[in-house]
Amino acid sequence: MSLTAWNHTYKFREKIFNTILFFASEEGMRSLPNSEEAILLCLARAVVEYCGGNKETVPTRTGPYSPNWTRSLDEAVGQAVKSKSLGQDMSIALEYILQAEYGSDCLSKDSWKSGVYDQLQFRQIGFGETFCLTHPEVLEIQENISSHMTPADLEHCKQIGLLMRKNILAAHTAK
């Protein structure tokens, strides 16, 4: 893949992820979990549910090292995304963002990462349990929505974001 193509693909994934977070945070008005795993699971459940699947098929980790967890997560998301017509770019972006894997060079048995990490790594999230989208981020997302997203992609992001918000609230009340 050329650098230009990679950059376009990365930018598209970033727009999709940010737009979903925008709607999951009620357009920047509510906080989001400050955890890669919490975001990953809430988003994966939302995608599976939006695609017509059972969100309960999205597995959670059962312990510090759950070797089948990442494979089961990828399978649940992959099957759901393939069952709904989201468009090729949207499907690829969601599968990449939600792909989780254990690192082959990890010293710790609990070292894994996902495409969510790639999207969160440059944010100034802080150390609290939650984080909020900043005002400049909200303005940038609104600009992308109004001028750079197709109506179909926007609708997918909105519906997934609303379902993600429902999953965040359910996870919060379960604590």
For the record, the structure tokens of 141 come out as 């997302």
Q: What is the pLDDT of residues 102-137, one digit of tens each?
A: 765 554 545 777 888 777 765 655 667 888 888 999
Encoded amino acid at 27, one letter: E
Name the percent of the chain lying above pLDDT 70.
Answer: 84
Under 8 Å between Cβ of 65 and 58: no
The model's confidence at residue 157, banded by pLDDT at 50, 70 and 90, is very high
Compute the 3-state secondary structure of the chain and give helix, strand, coil in percent, each to the nearest 5.
Answer: 60, 5, 30
Domain extent listing, the chain: 3-174
Compute the average pLDDT of residues 152-171.
Answer: 94
Q: What is the DSSP letter of 74?
A: H
In DSSP notation, 127-163 reads SSSEE---HHHHHHHHHHHHHH--HHHHHHHHHHHHH
Under 8 Å between Cβ of 154 and 145: yes
**Range in 39-53, 92-106, 117-131 with the lowest mean pLDDT:** 117-131
Answer yes or no: is pLDDT of 2 > 70.
Answer: no
Answer yes or no: is pLDDT of 49 > 90.
Answer: yes
Query: Residue 42: which of 171, 173, 175 has the closest Cα?
Result: 171
**Range in 4-13, 55-64, 93-102, 139-148 with the lowest mean pLDDT:** 4-13
In the chain the first and final C-alpha atoms are separated, in Å, by: 44
For the record, the structure tokens of 169 come out as 């609230």
Burial of 100 (0-12, 13-18, 19+ CB in 10 A): buried
- Higher-confidence position of 67 and 31: 31
